[in-house]
Amino acid sequence: MSARILLVEDDQSLAIGLEFNLRREGYEVTVCADAESAATTVARNGTANPFDLFLLDWMLPGKDGLSLLADLREAGYDAPVLLLTARDSKEDVVEGLDGGADDYLSKPFDLNILLARVRSLLRGRTARPRETPGDEARFCGTGPEGATTVHADFNNLTIDVRGVRHRLTYKEAQILKLLWERRNQVVTREDLLQKIWGVEGYIQSRTVDNHIVQLRKLIEEDPKKPRWILSIHGSGYKFVA
């Protein structure tokens, strides 16, 4: 069965070109021009995960793509999201990833890079274990705010921090799981790029850094003074158990 992609893009010529090339790659593609029709399309399918990947333009008429993404995550749709946008500042990238996107591609983009990122996101979703016993992490510590207990469920993409549940994006869950599995060891940015994205040369290292920022916001009492996910200068990161 071919992967199902929902493309939400209001630029008609770009949407036609992307649909053609994605279908040529063997994907099933549904195209919507705005957030409202996209939400209706997702809901109409009546299944928990009607699509395997969302390609969302940020600047849509009416409700923007980031708001649509928030609605999809709130409704429990955990398919990976590739955000397409002409907004490419560092702040925009952080906002997009913080909003639940798994990856971010600035316009104008090279078609081969987009297709590579689509393959990478879909490959990760296909490989994701659905029923893996023990596929979780639990850790705790004591700080100024008292005891902090964290429970990450990598299968269900959730993390409980001090009794409050949050959703993880698929990439955030993959990164945290890898750091947890290699706790007390240095994991380089290059290793994270290769293991998580699987496409060397297409993803910038700042993408890793932005995901780490979001994880720290979730689990650290003070993200600027992390106790668990430490930066190793000139190399990468280390999860300290």
pLDDT, tens only, 19-58: 999 999 999 999 999 999 999 999 887 656 789 999 999 9
Q: Residue 86 carries which side chain, given as an amino acid letter?
A: A
* Domain shared by 75 and 141, yes or no: no
* Domain shared by 213 and 182, yes or no: yes
Strand partners, 137: 152
DSSP string for residues in 28-69: EEEEESSHHHHHHHHHHH-SS-S-SEEEEESS-SSS-HHHHH
pTM (predicted TM-score): 0.62
* Domain shared by 115 and 188, yes or no: no
Residue 229 sits in a domain of what CATH number?
Answer: 1.10.10.10
More confident residue, 236 or 196: 236
* Domain shared by 39 and 149, yes or no: no
First to last CA, the chain: 41
* Domain shared by 30 and 50, yes or no: yes
CA distances from 231 to 91, 212, 228 (A): 20, 9, 10
- Tell me which residue range forms the domain holding 74: 4-127
Strand partners, 237: 187, 231
pLDDT, tens only, 134-170: 488 888 866 555 567 889 988 778 899 888 888 887 7
Q: What is the pLDDT of residue 146?
A: 57
* Domain shared by 106 and 156, yes or no: no
Domain count, the chain: 2
* Domain shared by 230 and 168, yes or no: yes
Measured distance CA(123)–CA(176) in Å, rounded: 18
Q: Which ranges constitute the DSSP H helices of 75-204?
A: 90-98, 111-127, 170-181, 189-192
Residue 16 sits in a domain of what CATH number?
Answer: 3.40.50.2300
Measured distance CA(71)–CA(185) in Å, rounded: 37
Q: Is the peptide bond before 133 cis (omega within 30 degrees of 0)?
A: no
* Domain shared by 163 and 203, yes or no: yes
Of 127, 148, 164, which residue constitutes the final position of a domain? Answer: 127
Of 127, 155, 173, which residue constitutes the final position of a domain? Answer: 127
pLDDT, tens only, 112-124: 999 988 998 887 6
* Domain shared by 150 and 72, yes or no: no
